[in-house]
Amino acid sequence: MVAVRKTDAERTVANEHTRRMKPLLLASHISGTIKFAKEAPYPYTLCMTTTKIGYARCSTDGQDLTAQKQALETLGVAPDRVYTDHGLTGTNRARPGLDQALAAVREGDTLVVPKLDRLARSVPDARAIADQLEAKGVKLALGASVYDPTDPMGKMFFNILATFAEFEADLIRMRTREGMAIARAKGKLRGKQPKLSEKQQRELNRMHATGEYSISDLADVFSVSRPTVYRTLKRQSR
């Protein structure tokens, strides 16, 4: 038998299904009834449970998700049902945390985000995600307000928020480009500098050449990450 490796989204779906079925794990089906452990059998009708799934995002590694997580908890989302993306912009549609959140929601559930710009920073992406949720029978909550795609006023307000989120993203990019252009003109923009000095790079290369130190050893000695060690060795070999 060949083992099939599940994707993150598939594992998320499986975990969410297990979490929802925990109350029934001790039950056995007997003649059309559900019998729970240590209880007499009684007629039981399975009904769809609604769950709030949260999503939070920040654009840079230096930012913190604590405030967004606290806001989601205040809105009734359990901490273990919050999916996050750290260091990814809203203009990037390929986000692992968002994909997992969209995979976790089921019909009747609600996807909760603190603000629309955490979900998407482009009008097409915001509409596509909202349409995807609507097709699955999932509600979308922007803070404490639930978006109703069948309400013309609600739909218009949603599009306005998405437009402002996209405008803000464009404004940030424009200001960043302008700032970089000014810094470059003043000779202050020289690109990303190496984490190790020239002397440290030569020493790292020498130690590696002895064959007595592994990549992990060198990373510990120089207090850098393994990728930094690899980049340094590649730079020195040129």
100-139 pLDDT, tens per residue? 999 999 999 999 999 998 999 888 899 999 999 999 999 9
Mean pLDDT for 36-53 is 55
- The answer on 137 and 60 residing in a single domain is yes
User: Residue 41: inside a domain, yes or no?
Assistant: yes
d(CA 57, CA 99): 12
pLDDT for res 54? 96
pLDDT above 60 (res 206): yes
Compare 206 and 14 and report the one with higher pLDDT: 206
- Residue 179 covered by a domain: yes
| 1 is a domain residue | no
Indicate whether 42 pLDDT > 80: no
Rounded CA-CA distance 156/145 in Å is 14
Cβ distance 141 to 112 under 8 Å? yes
- Can you tell me the mean pLDDT for 195-216? 88
> Based on the domain organization, do 63 and 157 belong to the same domain?
yes
Q: Does the structure show a pLDDT above 50 at 203?
A: yes
CA dist 49 and 4 (Å) reads 30
pLDDT at position 49 over 80: no
Q: Is residue 10 part of a domain?
A: no
Q: Which of 14, 13, 10, 50 is nearest to 141 (CA)?
A: 50
pLDDT greater than 60 at residue 209? yes
Residue 91 clears pLDDT 60, i.e. is over it: yes
Q: Tell me: do 113 and 204 sit in the same domain.
A: no
Structural domain for 89, as ranges: 50-191
Comparing 60-74, 87-101, 154-168, the range with the smallest average pLDDT is: 154-168
The partner residues of 35 in beta bridges, in order of sequence, read: 28
Residue 92: the pLDDT is 85
Residue 35's pLDDT is what? 39
Residue 198: pLDDT band by 50, 70, 90 thresholds?
A: confident
Tens digits of residue pLDDT in 120-130: 988 889 999 99
pLDDT bracket for residue 94 (50, 70, 90): confident
Rounded mean pLDDT of 38-46?
Answer: 43
Q: Which residues, at least 6 apart from 200, have a Cβ–Cβ distance to it below 8 Å?
A: 222
Q: Is residue 120 part of a domain?
A: yes
Residues 6+ apart with CB under 8 A from 166: 121, 122, 123
Query: Do 112 and 222 sit in the same domain of this protein?
Result: no
pLDDT value of position 188 = 66
**Residues 32 and 79 occupy one common structural domain:** no
Mean pLDDT over all residues of the chain?
Answer: 79
What sign does the CA torsion over 214, 220, 223, 228 have? positive
Q: Are residues 58 and 45 in the same domain?
A: no
pLDDT > 70 in the chain, percent: 75
Same-domain check for residues 168 and 222 = no
Residues 122 and 40 in one domain: no
Asked if residue 105 and residue 221 are part of one domain, the reply reads: no
Does residue 226 sit within a domain?
Answer: yes
User: Looking at residue 74, which CATH number applies to its domain?
Assistant: 3.40.50.1390
The answer, yes or no, to whether residue 183 has pLDDT greater than 50, is yes
Amino acid, single-letter form, for residue 222: F
- 59 labelled catalytic: yes
**Is residue 69 domain-shared with residue 176, that is, in the same domain?**
yes
User: Which band of pLDDT confidence, cut at 50, 70 and 90, is reported for residue 46?
Assistant: very low
Choosing from 28, 31, 59, 237, the catalytic residue is 59
Question: Of 98, 174, 83, whose CA–CA distance to 132 is shortest?
Answer: 98
**In the predicted model, is pLDDT for residue 74 greater than 50?**
yes
The number of domains in the chain is: 3
SS (H, E, C) the chain: CCCCCCCHHHHHHHHHHHHHHHHHCCCEEECCEEECCCCCCECCCCCCCCCEEEEEEECCCCCCCHHHHHHHHHCCCCHHHEEEEECCCCCCCCCHHHHHHHHHCCCCCEEEECCHHHHCCCHHHHHHHHHHHHHCCCEEEECCEEECCCCHHHHHHHHHHHHHHHHHHHHHHHHHHHHHHHHHHCCCCCCCCCCCCHHHHHHHHHHHHCCCCCHHHHHHHHCCCHHHHHHHHHHHCC
Distance of CA 215 to the CA centre of its chain: 30
